[in-house]
Structure 1
């Protein structure tokens, strides 16, 4: 999930902890509503409107405050080195993966286009 969507249901970490649910939640954090920000960057000349998430919420601390272990990965190589270990842990875990804001979500369907017109990548 993205950092925008996790903020809409983060209270469920308390439910996860209370019920000992063994789930791993990976948050892709880029401090912007990913797809919306991408559209605004690509199709609206970087005119961002209500898509930037410049809050100071520490998702690792938030998860831990609700009884769920939290980890933050900030380097690409950690996806190969630390991620497998974290995923193998018993119990619920939130993994906060920090990525650059300009990282694109692909494939994507531009506004007003059909599914057969989706963008699969860039040249």
Structure 2
């Protein structure tokens, strides 16, 4: 996600220095996704320091470190664009914009057992 890529984005400089053919796909919901999901599901949408409303442009960040950067924000052309970028020569970052409140399942609540995993959001 966009939160985790900000913790190790300096590695793009290493990728560029060594001409590594690495593709990085970022699911960008402008949040620390896993933390925000917990806050949404178990703390009634009370977000604390998990919303990333900065002006960071991940495409430009990758390009500044010598790696191609692309953004996908259109569902209609998603499959075609993703395939083109994955099959392109050289390293790249693919910034895929997703809805802010997109969840990831399954997940196990804190202190829970595997047989208590949550498979979907409550409606």
Task: Check whether TM > 0.5.
Answer: yes
1:120 Cα deviation (Å)?
2.1
Q: Is the 8 A contact 2:41 2:121 kept in 1?
A: no
1:54 & 1:122 partners in 2: Cα distance?
Answer: 24
Classify the secondary structure of the residue corresponding to 2:61.
helix
Are residue 68 (structure 1) and residue 67 (structure 2) matched?
Answer: yes
Q: Identify which range, 46-55 or 108-117, moves more after superposition.
A: 108-117
Partner residue of 1:108? 107
Cα deviations by residue, 1:18-45 (Å, 9 ceiling, x for unpaired): 0000000000000111111011111111
1:111 & 1:76 partners in 2: Cα distance?
Answer: 34
Matches within 5 A, 1:1-123: 2-122=1-121
2:22 & 2:113 partners in 1: Cα distance?
Answer: 34
1:13 & 1:116 partners in 2: Cα distance?
Answer: 39
1:67 Cα deviation (Å)?
0.5
Q: TM-score, normalised by structure 1?
A: 0.93
Given the superposition, is the C-alpha separation of residues 40 and 10 from structure 1 closer, same or farther in structure 2, using an over 3 Å criterion?
A: same
2:66 & 2:77 partners in 1: Cα distance?
Answer: 24
Return 5+ residue gaps in structure 1 as ranges. none
Q: Tell me the C-alpha RMSD between the 2 structures.
A: 1.2
Aligned length: 122
2:29 & 2:116 partners in 1: Cα distance?
Answer: 26
1:122 Cα deviation (Å)?
4.3
